[in-house]
Amino acid sequence: MAHIESGGSGRRTSLELNLVPFIDLMSVLITFLLITAVWTQVSMIQIGSSLYSKKSGDQSVPLTPDMDKVVRVDIRQDGYFVTIGRDQKLIARQGEAFDTVALKEMLDQAKLLFPDKLDAMVAMDDLLAFDHLITGMDIMLKSGFPKISVASGGI
Amino acid sequence: MAIYAPGEKFRNHRLLSRKKGKREVTALLSLTAMVDMFTVLVIFLLQNYNTEGLVVNIPKDLILPKAEVIKELKPSIIVTVSASGVLIDDRPITEKVEAIKAQKDWMIQSLFVEAQKSLAEAKLKADKEGVLKDVRTALKPEEMAEQQVLEPWKKITVQADKETDFLTVKKILFTLTEAGAGEINFAVLQRPQDKK
What integer is the mean pLDDT of B58-64? Answer: 85
CA distances from A39 to A36, B49, B59, B85, B141 (A): 9, 10, 15, 25, 44
Q: Mean of the per-residue pLDDT values for chain A?
A: 80
Whether the ipTM is more than 0.90: the answer is no
Give the chain A residue whose CA is nearest to the CA of B64. A131
- Give the pLDDT confidence score for residue A56 in this predicted structure: 46
pLDDT at A81 over 90: yes
Evaluate if residue A11 carries a pLDDT over 60.
Answer: yes
For residues B15 and B22, give the distance between their C-alpha atoms in angstroms, rounded to a whole number: 16
Q: Provide the pLDDT for residue A25.
A: 92
Q: Residue A28 above 90 pLDDT?
A: yes
List of chain A residues whose C-beta atoms are within 8 Å of the C-beta of residue B188: 42-45, 134
Residues of A in contact with B15 (CB under 8 A): 12, 14
Give burial (CB, 10 Å; 0-12/13-18/19+) of B156: buried
Handedness of CA B83, B85, B88, B90 (dihedral sign): negative
Query: Cβ of B56 under 8 Å from any chain A Cβ?
Result: yes
B174 in A contact zone (CB under 8 Å) = yes
pLDDT grade for A57, boundaries at 50, 70 and 90: very low
Half-sphere exposure of A103 (CA within 13 A, CB side): 28
**Cα distance from B64 to chain A (closest Cα, Å)?**
8
Q: How far apart are CA B55 and CA B152, in angstroms?
A: 18
Count Cβ atoms below 10 Å from residue A21 Cβ, excluding itself: 8
Please report which helix (H) or strand (E) contains residue B165, including its range: none
Neighboring chain B residues of A128 at a CB cutoff of 8 Å: 165-166
What pLDDT does A74 receive?
A: 92
Q: How far is Cα A36 from Cα A32, in angstroms, rounded to an integer? A: 6
Arithmetic mean of pLDDT, B145-173:
80
pLDDT, mean of residues A6-31:
78
Q: Looking at the complex, report in whole angstroms how far the Cα of residue B80 sits from the nearest Cα belonging to chain A.
A: 13
Please determine, for residue A30, whether its predicted confidence score (pLDDT) is greater than 90.
yes
Judged by CB atoms closer than 8 Å, whether chains meet at B54 and A42 is answered as: yes
Interface size A-B, in CB pairs within 8 Å, comes to 156
Q: Do B165 and A137 touch (CB under 8 A)?
A: no
First and final C-alpha spacing in chain B: 50
Residues near B2 by beta carbon (within 8 Å), at least 6 away in sequence: A1, A3, B12, B26, B27, B28, B29
Contact A119, A144 (CB under 8 A): no
pLDDT at B72: 80
Q: Which of B28, B162, B188 sits opposite A129 (nearest CB)?
A: B162
Comparing A4-18, B43-57, B59-73, which segment has the lowest mean pLDDT?
A4-18
pLDDT of residue A105: 92
pLDDT confidence of residue A94: 84
Nearest residue to A78 via CA among A93, A89, A88 = A93
Dist. CA A13–CA A3, nearest whole Å:
11
Q: Given CB atoms, is B149 within the 8 Å cutoff of chain A?
A: no
- Report how many helices (DSSP H) and strands (DSSP E) chain B contains, helices first: 5, 9
Measured between beta carbons, which residues in chain B are less than 8 angstroms from residue A11?
Answer: none
pLDDT at A63: 66
Mean pLDDT of chain B: 79
Q: Bridge partners of A129?
A: B165
Q: What is the pLDDT of residue A44?
A: 78
pLDDT confidence tier of residue A53, bands split at 50, 70 and 90: very low
Best mutation site among A131, A133, A139, A147 for testing chain B: the one with the most B CBs within 10 Å? A131
> Which tops the pLDDT comparison, A152 or A155?
A152
CB-based contact A130 B41, cutoff 8 Å: no
Indicate the pLDDT class of residue A8, thresholds 50, 70 and 90.
Answer: low
Q: pTM, whole model, 2 decimals?
A: 0.71
Q: Smallest Cβ distance to A43: which of B2, B55, B190?
A: B190
